[in-house]
Amino acid sequence: MGLKLTDLDTEPGFERLVLAEDRDAGLRALICIHSTALGPAAGGCRMWPYASDADAIADVTRLARGMTFKNAMAGLGLGGGKSVIIGDARKDKTPQLMRAYGRAVDALKGTYYTAEDVGISPEDMAHAATETRYAVGLSAGSGDPSPWTAEGVFRCLKVGARDVFGSDDLTGRRVLVQGLGHVGFALAEKLHDAGATLIVTDIHDTALDAARDRLDAAICAPDAIFDQQIDIFAPCALGGVLTEDAVARLTARLVCGAANNQLATPGVADALRARQIAYLPDYVVNAGGIISVASEIHGQDDDWRRARLDKITDRVAEMLRRARQEDRSTVQIADAMVERMLAENTPA
């Protein structure tokens, strides 16, 4: 059969949604390009066993829009896109599948750059790169973006702590990290080194054991997150964890984490604001990974990456200040900033 690309209908405001299939390679993937107003779309590839096509489409479109906003706020000269491969990364992923995925990306002729996300490693992306020059985040290039994501979240968390608690000293602050993947564990290490008291949760016992043994972390059951007495909540797993019910139970005064799409619905931002819980929008604080990837796309070095991490923290400080002055949520402030950027770069 070989590779087959099918354009699917998508909601207004999105440029393209493509279904990529290669039965011989076991590939079934969705690639969504939200916007190229600021440059070619860029965003990671996630592999996940979605229960339905509708779930996969909802995830990839939400993530693609988030990448537009993330790339804009980080000043990367890139638009937003995302891809998902439908399947179990632990059982279904093969070099053949990744090469077929690379051919699908290449067929989009440079309108979308791909990199790794949940379920995809730099080694996997190297297989895709044999079929396209638009696969980045390679070990021989910018490498694993996870450490840069963790560093950006940590820097922003300290900005938030200074705003909420009057100091960015994290000594003794009770911080709950939800999700101990590459980014979550790296963030937990930074928090431990900064003197924070860690509580962690994850679905994998090996990660929990490592956090307990190496970081003196207390273990929390996944369904007991919102029963903990904490100062800061750092969601670093999958999205949608912050529902209105969860916010009603949350004891933290600051939310800052690496997970994408943390708010289950837009109204949750208002619920957080009503409870005077400072929320740092995920697409702003978790941009370190795409900054690393963008450095590879643009041929830049570590100094360029660090300068853009500084820009993120400046934006977070500005959002918090304006949210107080204008009596609006940080999400409203951040969204308005991005929408202005896009409007200024979209042809009339």
CA dihedral 70, 345, 77, 84 (to 10 degrees): 50
Task: Name the active-site residue from 70, 82, 93, 190.
Answer: 82
CA distance 41 to 35: 7
Q: Which one, of 8, 54, 5, 13, lies nearest residue 34 by Cα?
A: 13
Catalytic residue check, 82: yes
CA distance 261 to 149: 15
Task: Confirm if 270 and 323 have CB atoms less than 8 A apart.
Answer: no
CA distance 334 to 73: 8
Backbone angles phi and psi of 189, in degrees to 5: -60, -45
Q: What is the DSSP string of 121-135?
A: -HHHHHHHHTT-TTB
CA distance 39 to 78: 4
Bridge-partner residues for 84, per DSSP?
30, 46
CA distance 215 to 219: 11
| The residue type at 174 | R
Cβ count near 229 (within 10 Å): 9
Q: What's the alpha-carbon Rg for the chain, to the nearest Å?
A: 19
Q: Which residue has the tokens 């895709």?
A: 128
CA distance 26 to 5: 14
Q: Which one, of 162, 159, 169, 220, lies nearest residue 191 by Cα?
A: 169
Measured at the CA of 270, the angle between CA 265 and CA 272, to 5 degrees, comes to 95
Alpha helices (runs of H) in 232-301, residue ranges in sequence order: 244-249, 268-274, 282-285, 288-298
**Active centre residues (catalytic):** 82
